[in-house]
Amino acid sequence: MKRSNRLILLIGFFLAAVAFVAVVMLLGSGTGGGGNEPGVDALNTTVVVTTADVPLGTTLTAGLVTTQDVRETDKPAGSYTLTSEVIGRTVTTQLTKGQLVDGNAFSTTTVNPDIARLLEPGRRAMSLEVSYISGVGTLIKPGDRVDVVVGIAGAAFPIVTTDPVTKLVTPVTGINPTSIKTIVQNVEVVGTLLPGVPPAEGEAPPTGPTSAGAVGTQLVILAVTAQQAEVLRFGQYPDTSLTLILRSPEDKEAPDEKTTGITLRQLVDKWAVIPAQLIEAVPPKK
């Protein structure tokens, strides 16, 4: 009896050891494939990164992005897992090769503090304040391309005559002095700023740069030449106004389009606008 009891105990120990090894092997096979069991730090997700330097305003294609394996616990907030999530989107800042593509790559609420590095050689950054009407609903974002139209009226553009003998200059009244002209074409937007929103009671003030403009305005920063800066600066004076016209991203290499400019005379002569006519009314007899 004693010998048989020993044999039974040995068989029991052997079966328990086999069961323990089987459990360990099952657990190992369950985590080796990238499972998410607590405490297991395995490669089990991906992040999207660039495969080359990506200039501001570039639309991402399949050849410009790829994925890298990372641990779930190391995945940065705001990052993307699939390249399909970013392909076709336009970056609003400059990216370098191998850089993580996250929400900041498409942000329209902040300006790159190193904005000078976004400028091509010979370009200067110049800011213009626009409204919902003059700035395409404040939808302009970094990387876009715009034209600038100036409107001049009133005292800024007086109509005068000069006496050929006395050289006396006399203002002419009764003539509409308004003149409209596209003065700058196809310039790149390198930054935008919206007015800061006062924090609610108990909230921390927002971080990052904002404009000091009123609600409904936007500060648009353009990359311009020195000559373009002079032209645009004139349009910022009283009695003049500047309007930004948003262009297609496919127009990057498009040549400037020749325009005639518009005055009231142009509208009447070339655009068939009917001028006002004097109407004589005969009052009824009493």
Which H or E run contains 228? helix 226-234
Calpha distance 101→58 (Å, rounded) = 13
Query: Given a cut of 70, is residue 3 above it in pLDDT?
Result: no
Q: Are 160 and 170 in contact (CB under 8 A)?
A: yes
pLDDT for 200 equals: 55
Give the model confidence (pLDDT) of 226-281 as tens digits: 999 999 999 998 889 999 999 998 898 899 999 999 988 889 899 998 887 888 88
pLDDT for 21 equals: 64
Token duo for residue 259: 């325009």
Query: Given a cut of 50, is residue 34 above it in pLDDT?
Result: no
Instruction: Pick the more confident residue, 142 or 216.
Output: 142
Query: Given a cut of 60, is residue 187 above it in pLDDT?
Result: yes
Token duo for residue 197: 């929103």
Give the model confidence (pLDDT) of 117-129 as tens digits: 888 899 999 999 9
pLDDT for 73 equals: 86
Which candidate, 236, 196, 199, places its Cα nearest to that of 217? 196
Token duo for residue 1: 């009896």
Q: How confident is the model at residue 15 (pLDDT cuts 50, 70, 90)?
A: low
What mean pLDDT comes out for the span 68-72?
89
Q: How confident is the model at residue 186 (pLDDT cuts 50, 70, 90)?
A: very high
Query: Bridge-partner residues for 42, per DSSP?
Result: none
Calpha distance 137→121 (Å, rounded) = 30
The pTM of the full predicted model, rounded to 2 decimals, is: 0.68
What is the fold, at CATH topology level, of the domain defined by 43-106?
A: Type Iii Antifreeze Protein Isoform Hplc 12 (3.90.1210)
Give the model confidence (pLDDT) of 81-99 as tens digits: 999 999 999 898 889 999 9
pLDDT for 31 equals: 47
Query: Given a cut of 70, is residue 225 above it in pLDDT?
Result: yes
Q: How confident is the model at residue 7 (pLDDT cuts 50, 70, 90)?
A: low
Name 93's Cβ contacts closer than 8 Å, sequence gap at least 6: 56, 104, 105, 107, 112, 118, 142
Domain boundaries, the chain: 43-106, 115-270
Query: How does the average pLDDT of the chain come out, rounded?
Result: 82
pLDDT for 36 equals: 44
In the chain, the percentage of residues whose pLDDT exceeds 90 is 36
